[in-house]
Structure formats: structure tokens, C-alpha cells
Amino acid sequence: MKTANVKAFGTKATDAPLKEMTIDRRDVTAKDIEIEILYCGVCHSDLHTARNDWGFTVYPSVPGHEIVGRVTKVGSEVTRLKVGDIAGVGCLVDSCQTCESCKKDLEQYCLTGFTGTYGSADKHLGGFTFGGYSEKIVVDEHFVLKVPSNLDLAAVAPLLCAGITTWSPLRHWNVTKGSKVAVVGLGGLGHMAIKLAKGLGAEVTLFSRSPGKEKDALVLGADAVIISTDSNQMNSVSGKFDLIIDTVPYVHDVNPYVATLNISGTLVLVGYLGGLEPFLNTVPMILGRKSIAGSLIGGIAETQEMLDFCGKHNIVSEIEIIKMQDINEAYERMLKSDVKYRFVIDMASLKE
């Protein structure tokens, strides 16, 4: 298969900074779309992967799975998009497309394993996939998304991970007008959960450990803020919520939040991978048929649904635009939660 060299930013070791490198992209096949990348969002997963926090990074690694760009070439069998269209690529670039999950538009749960936008086995070129910190990307048409033309393209990029990660549980648990939804944590995921839940007509509450985020949460659309370290405030919402979206990315105690679920309510974890500490008290779960669940991004159809919804309701992420050359500094700022609420790379800077 023919390939082309393109500029990218990546890292070759756990403790090495990201810097400019050259990677290969395959030539367009019959069902492929080539996209010139205009903007790429910066996800916590990018940082975790670059630094091998999860223990499975293969180097060199080029992160980035919140991609918005312009179609520059299409294969002979492509029908959904044409050259010049604005397109998006999220966390998935392939799956088996034949298993029961894929047939149900749940490619994120592909029973043979989905192909991630970066760090997954590349069935076309061998080696591993490279992500959106690069000039262009080539992706199977099925995994390319249409971007609403009325939205700020830079601010659309985080919708392709942070947006769909919170949209999917909102849809799965049937959030609609009048639903009572709470969000734990106000960051890249949390601020999108607030916006999307509010867009669906829910009554939205933010749980925060500190009162400093109250004004921001209300501006984003929250109806109320509960300080989770204040027992009186927590008691005031006991048994209230139909759904809690927990976006906290580190180990934490979920027991206080379970107590605020309504009968048959669910707390869904979208930010943390690993064991829960301290122990999980099952008494309120059993006595109130309450559940703790997890959720992973969304399938392609659901992601397109989310983008269309955002286009209709003019919902985008709150962002800070950076140059590609500032990515290492951005990672350090992410660790300090020093961003409201998502960095987005202007990929034109890669040409400087």
C-alpha cells in the first residue's frame, strides 16, 4: 500500500516531551476519506497515553482523537462526503462492523475490539494508529462524521470525545424534559454534561467540592450547585436524582452520591478507570434499586446524532486555543486543572 509522509507531534518515550516528527499515512482506498486537520482537541486520555499512565502505550505515540478538518480526497466508493466538506473524527477509526455490537451501532463495544484513532493495531499499514496531532488523517468513510456548518469548528472538536462521552449515558438512561440530572466534577467532561443535559430539558445540578465553581456552573446552564463536602447541602438532595454523571478522573468515594439517587436511579462513571475506594456500601443500592454503571464514548450513529443536536441547539465546548508547539505546557496545565474547559490545537501552527 502506498503511503505519504506527514508532519506530526508525538513522543518516543514515557518521559520524553512531545515534539515534531514524521509519520506515514496510507493513500486513500475505495472507501476512505482523507482529511486535512484544522483543529484537534486535547483530551486527558492524550496525556495518559503519552506518559504511559495506563501501561499499554506503544511508542512512538501521536495522540489526538477530537479531530475537525476539511475533506481533501475521497475514495471511489465514498458517498457521504465530498472534497471540501467539513468532517470530524472521534475516538474510533475502525471496528469489525459484523459483530452484534457493531450491528447495533455500538462500535465502541465491538466484540473483537475497536480500532482507536491512536495507539491501536493498524490493519492497513501494520504497527499502530497515529492520532490527530498531525497534518492529515485517512479514515474509512463509516467512521467519519458530518460537522454542522453553523458551529465554531474549533469548539466542535471536543464534542467528539468529551461531548459524546457524556451524551451517550444521557441518551441511554432516557434523559428528557423534567429529568433530574446531577454532574460530579466541572471540567472538560463535566461542562459538556451540563450543557447537553440542559439542552435535553433536564433539571441540572453540579456537585462540587468547593464553592468557587458555582458562578461558572450556572453560566453553563446548571440550575443549582451542591457542595459535596457540606453534609447539610448533601442531605437536602437525598433521593433526588434520576441520573448522576460522575466525571471525576481519579479514585474517589461514590457513596455520598449514591445516597442522592432517586428510586431506580443510576450513577454512571465516565471519567475514572480502576478500583473504587473506600468500600462500596450496597445497602442504599439494594433498598432503593439504585445502580452504579459505566459508559464509554458512543457509536458512530450516536455521535452523529449528538453533533446534529448540538448544531440545532448551538452547543459547543468552552475552549482555549493553543499552538501545536505549546502542547507540553498544556499538559502540565491540564494536570493543575488550569483550563476552562478544553484545550484545542490550531493545527495551522504545525506548518510554522
DSSP class per residue in 19-41: EEEEEEEEPP-TTEEEEEEEEEE
Q: Is 103 exposed, middle or buried (0-12, 13-18, 19+ CB in 10 A)?
A: exposed
Look at residues 199, 165, 162, 197 and name the one whose alpha carbon lies nearest to residue 181: 197
Phi, psi of 39 (to 5 degrees): -140, 145
- Looking only at the bridges linking them, the beta strands covering 261-269 and 241-246 are parallel
Under 8 Å between Cβ of 62 and 23: yes
d(CA 38, CA 87): 10
Q: Please tell me the distance from the alpha carbon of residue 246 to that of residue 235, in angstroms, as a whole number.
A: 19
What does the pLDDT read at residue 351?
85
What is residue 212's predicted lDDT score, i.e. its pLDDT? Answer: 86
Nine-digit cell at 105? 451501532
Angle at the Cα of 66 (from 64 to 71), degrees rounded to 5? 100
* Alpha-carbon gap, residue 293 to 306, rounded angstroms: 21
Domain positions in the chain: 3-161+317-351, 162-294
Reported as a single tens digit per residue, the pLDDT across 29-80 is 999 999 999 999 999 999 999 999 989 999 999 999 999 999 999 999 999 9
Bridge partners, residue 3, by sequence: 26
Per-residue confidence band for 24, with pLDDT thresholds at 50, 70 and 90 = very high
Note the pLDDT tens digit of each residue in 176-188.
999 999 999 999 9
- The C-alpha torsion from 41 through 42 and 48 to 51, rounded to 10°, is 120
Domain at 3-161+317-351: CATH code: 3.90.180.10
161-173 per-position pLDDT tens digit: 999 999 999 999 9
Instruction: Specify the range with the lowest mean pLDDT, choosing from 190-204, 224-238, 271-285.
Output: 271-285
In the DSSP assignment, the letter for residue 43 is -
CA 77, 82, 83, 88 torsion-angle sign: negative
Residue with cell 470525545: 161
- The residue with greater pLDDT, 302 or 211, is 302
- Per-residue pLDDT of 257-310, as tens digits, reads 999 999 999 999 999 888 888 899 999 999 999 999 999 999 999 999 999 999
For residue 71, give the H/E element and its range: strand 67-74
pLDDT tens digits for range 109-163: 999 999 999 999 999 999 999 999 999 999 999 999 999 999 999 999 999 999 9
Q: Which amino acid is at 96?
A: C
Output the average pLDDT for the chain. 96
Name the CATH architecture for the domain at 162-294. Answer: 3-Layer(aba) Sandwich (3.40)
* pLDDT value, residue 129: 97
- Cα of first residue to Cα of last residue in the chain, in angstroms, is 30
Q: What residues are paired with 71 via a beta bridge?
A: 35
pLDDT recorded at residue 211: 86
In this structure, are residues 313 and 199 in contact, taking their beta carbons and an 8 Å threshold?
A: yes
Global pTM?
0.95
Residue 145 three-state SS: strand
* Residues in Cβ contact with 52 at an 8 Å cutoff, skipping those fewer than 6 apart: 14
DSSP 278: S
- Give Rg (Cα) of the chain: 20
